[in-house]
Amino acid sequence: MSSSEASSITFTLLKEITDDFSEEKMIGRGGFGEVYKAVLNNGDEIAVKKLFPIYDLDDTKFDNEFSNLMSVQHKNIVRLLRYCYETKRGHTFQKGKCYFSEETERALCFEYMQGGSLSQHISKNSCKYDWPTTYKIIEGTCEGLHYLHKGRGEQHYIYHLDLKPDNILLDENLVPKIGDFGLSRLFGESKTYEISKKKGTAGFMPPEYIDYGKVTPKNDVFSLGVVIFYMLAGKKGYGHYRDALLRQNYSDKFIIDGVQESWKKKMEAVMGYRWDETDILGVRKCTEIAISCVHNNRDNRPSTTMIIEKLKKLDARIKEMLKEDPKPPMPLGKLTDLENNVKRKNCHNEDLGKYIVVDPSVELCFPFEPKRDIPCCLQLINKSGSFVAFNINTDPNKCRAQPNRGILAPLSNCYIILTLQAQEKVPPKMTCHDKAIVQATRVSKGFTSDKITQDFLKKSSAVDVAELPIVYVTSPQGPSN
């Protein structure tokens, strides 16, 4: 269902599928309403935002805001699926007199995001994921905000005014989508406004908004910069940056070098990951963007158009670097084509396995420690000029893969973080009988990851399948009971 097909839903049905808006079904609370998880009769999971009563909101205002939400359609914006707007009359008797009243119920139903909010994936030091995944989240968030500012025409731009990790949601493949437009407003002809009642979240609001109530697109750009900083260096790192800014005893290079070194140490600790020049370039450029976004003078902050242009140039440069040498640090004897460990089905097409590299290619080694989740990194490299869909199968009760499916563009790579669920005890003889299964097949440009299902793979004419056994190895600390 697309946003343009959003339809009405009765309040009675909403009460039914949320167990009368029970605490057990509640998954969030914002300034304008509470959010509940529910399942429609067709099996679709949705997030129901039950709006708080707004007594001074007339029908016209609600219709305008609803039309605003309906018109927003972008891969990095949470989709509106259903809506409820019902008014019922009631009456009460007081001191022998009958008093009539009206009660209005309003609710908006959005696609349910299985990955939760971005805030759940950020530690005090950085985003919890590997750098390529973190970069894709940064890039997707920037593209979503650019769409709100520019994607709907000059007269229909939207300012979010409360952009923060809590309002950026992730789907099952960690694709970011901007949500919660409770503070969004469509403005008229003027590009700058002054509002008396400040709305937003402390720490994410720019100084001109806090001091004077000024609203321009640069408000959201400032918030975006803070979000990127949180992903790069955590709340702690952003706090250090603001402190250094106040003391005026810092340089941009010092900040960028520090973020780069922190990410290098983080990724070198992940089994199977090799930090290289493409990662260094990505971290440094994103840190530069974050610093420019949080400039105290809004005139010195970039527009979303400028940010997207910088990211496109970065992507082009990384693509060139991968084309010249895809992840060079790995010894050639260990970097093996998928075809060396592959079972091919009906492969009458050009041999796909010759152009897809899986690394590691023989087995996945996890440094085992009891009572602790253990990550391991798997890299897929597309050396071909075609788009390739991939799917990662694991036992979800023992090992989760993020992302577990996706699309590899020509001459690109992708990292999958596999995480073993914590186990109480060391397994006998450190043995494991589980495995990860990698499936890959060529697809056309424009093919999306939500179409990668087992049914699709069964019907595909050529699918490469690589089985990678999971192996426990002794951690540097050594296993303990």
pLDDT tens string 435-460: 899 999 889 888 888 889 988 988 88
Query: Please, how many CA atoms are within 13 Å of residue 322, restricted to the half-sphere of its CB?
Result: 23
State residue 170's pLDDT score: 92
Residues 6+ apart with CB under 8 A from 252: 288, 291
Locate CATH 3.30.200.20 in the chain.
Answer: 3-111
Lowest mean pLDDT among 185-189, 321-325, 449-453: 185-189
Lowest mean pLDDT among 160-174, 180-194, 292-306, 384-398: 180-194
338-474 adopts what CATH topology? Immunoglobulin-like (2.60.40)
Q: Is the pLDDT of residue 185 over 60?
A: no
Q: What residues pair up with 406 in beta bridges, in sequence order?
A: 390
- 1 against 349, higher pLDDT: 1
State residue 344's pLDDT score: 46
- pTM, entire model: 0.73
**Of 20, 56, 162, 299, which residue is the catalytic one?**
162
Q: Is 50 annotated as a binding residue?
A: yes
Neighbours of 362 (CB within 10 A): 15
- 77 against 464, higher pLDDT: 77
Lowest mean pLDDT among 24-28, 66-70, 474-478: 474-478
Query: Quick one: pLDDT band at residue 338, thresholds 50, 70, 90?
Result: very low
Region 402-413: mean pLDDT is 86
Query: Quick one: pLDDT band at residue 479, thresholds 50, 70, 90?
Result: very low
Residues 6+ apart with CB under 8 A from 391: 404, 405, 438, 439, 440, 452, 454, 457
Region 206-232: mean pLDDT is 93
Peptide bond into 469 cis (omega under 30): no
The answer to whether residues 279 and 267 touch, using CB atoms and an 8 Å cutoff, is: yes
State residue 98's pLDDT score: 81
Query: Quick one: pLDDT band at residue 55, thresholds 50, 70, 90?
Result: low
Q: What proportion of the chain, given as a percentage, has pLDDT over 90?
A: 32
State residue 218's pLDDT score: 95
Say how far apart CA 71 and CA 152 lie, in whole Å: 8
Region 2-27: mean pLDDT is 85
State residue 4's pLDDT score: 53
State residue 223's pLDDT score: 96
- Pairing of β 374-382 and β 412-420: antiparallel
The answer to whether residues 217 and 147 touch, using CB atoms and an 8 Å cutoff, is: no
Q: Which CATH architecture has domain 3-111?
A: 2-Layer Sandwich (3.30)
Query: Quick one: pLDDT band at residue 334, thresholds 50, 70, 90?
Result: very low
Locate CATH 2.60.40.10 in the chain.
Answer: 338-474
pLDDT digits (tens, 9 = 90+) for 104-154: 888 989 999 988 899 999 988 888 888 888 999 999 999 999 999 998 887
Torsion-angle region of 252 (φ positive above 0: left; ψ -120 to 50: alpha; else: beta): alpha
8-state DSSP, 122: B
Rg from Cα positions in the chain: 25
- Is 3.30.70.370 the CATH classification of the domain at 116-324? no
pLDDT digits (tens, 9 = 90+) for 359-384: 887 888 888 788 888 888 888 888 87
395 is an active site residue? no
Q: What mean pLDDT, rounded, does the chain reach?
A: 81
Most confident segment among 180-189, 210-219, 283-292:
283-292
